[in-house]
C-alpha cells in the first residue's frame, strides 16, 4: 500500500513504530552524531534553511536527518536507490518526525523517479531541469566516490553552479566507511542472499581501492582464495604485496566462483567474461551503480532467466551453464543486507552534519568548486569517535613538537 503522508510517499505508515525501533537501535552505535545533535539543538546552525537529501533510506540516514532537523533545517529526503529503502524507517521519518520522505523499497521506475523528475541525482536534476532553482542553493555535500568524480568534472568544465563539500574525501569517511563498512556489509549481503560458504572459494574482486581492500581482507578472513583485478599499476602492486593473486579479468573470469565489482566503472564484467565463466558462478556488484556488470549482454546471452531464490536470478546460457546474479546487479550490501553498520555511518554522517553547518556558516563566501572537508572537521570527528570508544591517545610534548617542526635538529 503506497501512502501519501503529510506530503511524503512511503509504503505503509503503520510501519512507523517498527521503524522508530530501528532508528533507536542505530542511534546506540552513533554516539558522535548524537553529540552533534545535542549541540545542534542548542545552536540551531541550520535554522531557516531548506535541505534536500538523496541518500539510502536506512536507520542510519534517519539519524542524520534527525540531527539536521535538530539543527533547524526544513528537510526533504528521497531514496538514492530503489532497493535500499527500509520502508519502516521511511514511515517513521514521515509520520513521527515530519521529514518529507519519498522512498518505497522496490518501487518501479516511475515512482522512483517521480520525486526527482528525471532520475538523475539531486545535483544533476537541479543543473539539468530545475535551473531556475539554482540561485537559491547555498551549497551541497557529496557522500560517494562516484559522485565526487562527477562533481569535480562539472567544476572543471565550469558548469557547477554552487559549492560542494566532498564528504567522501574526509579521512574519517572513506578510510572507515568504504573500507570497513562496505567491506563487511558486502560479505554480509552475499552470504544472506546465497548462504554460500566462502571458505575455499575463488573470490574475484574487481578494484582494489578503499572498498576493494576492505572486501579483500574480509573475504580472506573467511578462508576464500582472493583474486584482484585492477587497471591501476600501484593498486595492483599493493594487492600483490598484500598477498593476493592479481589477474586480468579475462583470466580471472575462468577461475572465479564469486565475482564482486567495486570500481565505480562500467562493464567491468562483460560479455566475454560471461562466455568463459564456470557453471554456477555468482555475480555481485558493490560499486556505485548497476552498470559495473553488463546486464544487457547477460540478458542477451541468456536463454532463460528465473528467480533461484529471493535476490538471486539464475541466467541459463545456451551451453547449459548457469550464472547467478545477486540483487539485480545493484549494490549487494544494501540490496541483500543492511548497508553499512551504524558505527561507521556515525563518522560519515557526522562529517555530513558538520559540513552542512560549515556551508551555512560560509554562505556566499565559497566558490563554485568542490572543496575537501576542512581538516579541523575531519580531526574533530576522529577525536569524538575515539572519545566515544573510550580510547585515549598521546599528545606531543613541547620538546617533540619542536623537534618535528625543526629542520636544524635531528639527522
Ligand atoms: N556499496 C556501498 O555502500 C559503497 C560504499 C562506498 C563506495 N562505494 C562505491 O564503490 C566504488 C569504489 O569506491 P572506492 O572508494 O573503493 O574507490 P577507489 O577510487 O578508491 O577504488 C576504485 C578502484 O577501482 C579501480 N578500477 C577502475 N576501473 C577498473 C576496472 N575496469 N577494472 C578493475 N579495476 C578498476 C581503480 O583503479 C581504483 O583502484 C565506487 O563506485 C563507490 O561509489 C559503494
Q: Which atom of ligand 1 is nearest to the CA of 206?
A: 33
In whole angstroms, what is the distance from residue 192 CA to residue 194 CA?
6
- Per residue in 376-409, pLDDT tens? 999 999 999 999 999 999 999 999 999 999 887 6
DSSP state for residue 331 in the 8-state scheme: B
How far, in Å, from the CA of 290 to the mean position of ligand 1?
13
Indicate if ligand 1 lies below 6 Å from the C-beta of 259. no
Considering only CA atoms, which of 28, 37, 53 is closest in space to residue 143? 53
- Per residue in 323-368, pLDDT tens? 999 999 999 998 899 888 999 999 999 999 999 999 999 999 999 9
Residue 56, C-alpha cell as written in the block:
539510502
- Per residue in 121-149, pLDDT tens? 778 888 888 888 888 899 999 988 888 88
In whole angstroms, what is the distance from residue 284 CA to residue 39 CA?
41
By alpha-carbon position, which residue is closest to atom 32 of ligand 1? 230
Q: Which atom of ligand 1 is nearest to the CA of 147?
A: 43
- Per residue in 68-82, pLDDT tens? 999 999 999 999 877
Question: Quick check: 27 and 63 in contact, CB under 8 A?
Answer: yes
In whole angstroms, what is the distance from residue 355 CA to residue 372 CA?
10
Considering only CA atoms, which of 372, 321, 342, 310 is closest in space to residue 23? 342
- Per residue in 36-89, pLDDT tens? 999 999 999 999 999 999 998 999 999 999 999 999 999 999 998 777 799 999
What does pTM read for this prediction?
Answer: 0.84
Task: Tell me the pLDDT band of 209, cut-offs 50, 70 and 90.
Answer: very high
The DSSP bridge pattern shows strands 258-261 and 282-285 to be parallel
Amino acid at each position: 500500500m503506497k501512502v501519501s503522508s503529510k506530503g511524503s510517499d512511503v509504503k505503509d505508515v503503520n510501519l512507523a513504530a517498527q521503524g522508530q525501533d530501528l532508528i533507536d537501535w542505530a542511534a546506540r552505535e552513533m554516539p558522535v552524531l548524537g553529540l552533534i545533535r545535542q549541540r545542534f539543538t542548542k545552536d540551531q546552525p541550520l535554522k531557516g534553511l531548506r535541505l534536500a537529501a538523496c541518500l539510502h533510506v536506512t536507520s542510519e540516514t534517519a539519524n542524520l536527518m534527525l540531527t539536521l532537523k535538530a539543527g533547524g533545517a526544513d528537510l526533504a529526503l528521497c531514496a538514492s536507490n530503489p532497493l535500499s529503502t527500509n520502508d519502516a524507517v521511511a514511515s517513521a521519518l514521515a509520520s513521527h518526525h515530519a521529514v518529507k520522505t519519498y522512498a518505497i523499497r522496490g518501487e518501479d521506475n516511475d515512482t522512483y523517479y517521480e520525486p526527482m523528475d528525471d532520475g538523475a541525482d539531486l545535483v544533476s536534476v537541479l543543473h539539468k531541469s530545475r535551473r531556475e532553482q539554482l540561485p537559491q542553493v547555498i551549497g551541497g555535500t557529496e557522500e560517494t566516490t562516484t559522485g565526487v568524480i562527477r562533481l569535480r568534472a562539472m567544476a572543471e568544465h565550469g558548469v557547477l553552479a554552487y559549492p560542494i563539500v566532498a564528504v567522501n574525501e574526509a579521512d574519517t569517511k572513506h578510510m572507515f566507511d568504504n573500507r570497513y563498512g562496505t567491506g563487511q556489509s558486502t560479505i554480509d549481503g552475499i552470504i544472506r542472499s546465497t548462504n554460500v560458504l566462502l571458505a575455499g572459494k575463488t573470490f574475484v574482486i574487481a578494484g582494489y581501492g578503499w572498498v576493494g581492500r576492505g572486501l579483500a581482507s574480509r573475504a580472506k578472513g573467511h578462508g576464500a582464495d582472493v583474486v584482484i583485478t585492477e587497471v591501476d599499476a600501484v593498486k595492483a602492486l599493493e594487492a600483490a604485496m598484500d598477498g593476493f593473486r592479481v589477474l586480468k579479468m579475462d583470466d580471472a573470469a575462468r577461475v572465479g566462483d564469486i565475482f564482486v565489482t567495486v570500481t565505480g566503472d562500467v562493464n567491468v564484467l562483460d560479455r566475454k567474461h560471461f562466455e568463459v565463466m564456470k557453471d554456477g558462478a555468482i555475480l555481485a556488484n558493490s560499486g556505485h551503480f548497476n552498470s559495473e556488470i553488463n546486464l544487457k549482454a547477460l540478458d542477451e546471452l541468456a536463454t532463460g532467466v528465473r528467480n533461484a531464490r529471493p535476490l538471486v536470478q539464475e541466467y541459463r546460457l545456451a551451453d547449459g551453464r548457469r550464472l547467478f546474479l545477486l540483487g539485480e546487479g545493484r549494490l549487494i550490501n544494501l540490496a541483500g543486507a543492511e548497508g553499512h553498520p551504524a558505527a561507521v555511518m556515525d563518522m560519515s554522517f557526522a562529517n555530513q552534519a558538520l559540513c552542512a553547518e560549515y556551508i551555512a556558516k560560509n554562505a556566499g563566501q565559497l566558490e563554485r568548486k568542490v572543496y575537501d572537508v576542512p581538516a579541523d572537521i575531519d580531526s574533530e570527528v576522529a577525536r569524538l569517535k575515539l572519545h566515544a570508544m573510550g580510547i585515549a591517545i598521546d599528545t606531543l610534548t613541547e620538546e617533540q613538537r619542536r623537534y618535528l617542526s625543526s629542520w636544524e635538529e635531528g639527522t
